[in-house]
Chain A
């Protein structure tokens, strides 16, 4: 498949991204670069200086809400992507409403209870929709522990073990690896013949 074929295949596809932090911002940018037609972003938070160690934002955006910020970043890279940005703390009802027409949903939350919530919501309401989650990416090094596995439409990227803490923070390299693995899984699903 040539680059042009890929663009043609992706232009009518829609991907939902739940959370625009370390996973969501990097995953969304990767998908925008390859030409996914529509991205639906959702996040309630604002950009802080401490986010810049891993999230796809700039110093000039500190204090601004993440979802519309990410939309502007994406449009500086690829203006042909149509981006819908919701400033909202996603609950099950929002997920059903905003992501119902997505071809794939990317879970990009930071809190474990939120991850559990979206998995239960999507697997119950949309059992046929692929959900790509990121679990375990704190710290540094340990490339050999990061992996991919799937169970039906639930696709898991990460080491499934390392939890963030004061002494094991989330950092650009490992978070970026998992975010781009998620984008890679999305691409594989969308380009399946």
Chain B
């Protein structure tokens, strides 16, 4: 599948992935993050069930301390 990840084209051999699988594939190991699929917030407890498919627009935001 082809998706937009953080405004850039990305290709994966899977046809469908859960959020957890995507985070693992990209080695995103951050503790604090926010995920949106096609503009909709995905809550933490949905990371193992929410799925990403062809043409989805995904945002993974890594939150770092400081302010």
Q: A residues touching B (Cβ–Cβ < 8 Å)?
A: 19, 21-24, 108-113, 115-116, 119-120, 123-124, 134-138, 149, 151-152, 154, 156, 160-164, 170, 175
Chain B positions within 8 Å of A175 at CB level:
66-67
Given contacts A120-B34, A152-B39, A111 and B7 within 8 Å (CB-CB): no
Which residue of the partner chain, among A112, A134, A154, contacts B36 with CB atoms under 8 Å? A154
Q: B25 → chain A, closest Cβ, in Å?
A: 20
Q: Are B66 and A119 closer than 8 Å at their CB atoms?
A: no
Chain A positions within 8 Å of B65 at CB level:
110-112, 115, 163-164
Chain A positions within 8 Å of B34 at CB level:
116, 119-120, 123, 154
Chain B positions within 8 Å of A135 at CB level:
61-64
How many residues of chain B are within 8 Å of chain A by beta carbon?
17
Q: Which B16-67 residues have a C-beta within 8 angstroms of A? A: 31-34, 36, 39, 41, 43, 59, 61-67
Q: A120 → chain B, closest Cβ, in Å?
A: 7
CB closest chain-A residue, reference B43:
A120
Q: How far is the CA of A5 from the CA of B61 in the complex (A)?
A: 36
Q: A68 → chain B, closest Cβ, in Å?
A: 20
Q: Are A108 and B62 closer than 8 Å at their CB atoms?
A: no
Q: How far is the CA of A156 from the CA of B63 in the complex (A)?
A: 11
Chain B positions within 8 Å of A149 at CB level:
7
CB closest chain-A residue, reference B7:
A149
Chain B positions within 8 Å of A23 at CB level:
67
Q: A182 → chain B, closest Cβ, in Å?
A: 10
Chain A positions within 8 Å of B39 at CB level:
151-152
Q: How far is the CA of A124 from the CA of B44 in the complex (A)?
A: 13
Q: How far is the CA of A113 from the CA of B59 in the complex (A)?
A: 18
Q: Are B32 and A163 closer than 8 Å at their CB atoms?
A: no
Q: How far is the CA of A151 from the CA of B34 in the complex (A)?
A: 11
Which residue of the partner chain, among B33, B36, B67, contacts A21 with CB atoms under 8 Å? B67
Chain A positions within 8 Å of B61 at CB level:
119, 135, 151, 154, 156, 160
Q: Are B63 and A138 closer than 8 Å at their CB atoms?
A: no
Q: Are A116 and B33 closer than 8 Å at their CB atoms?
A: yes
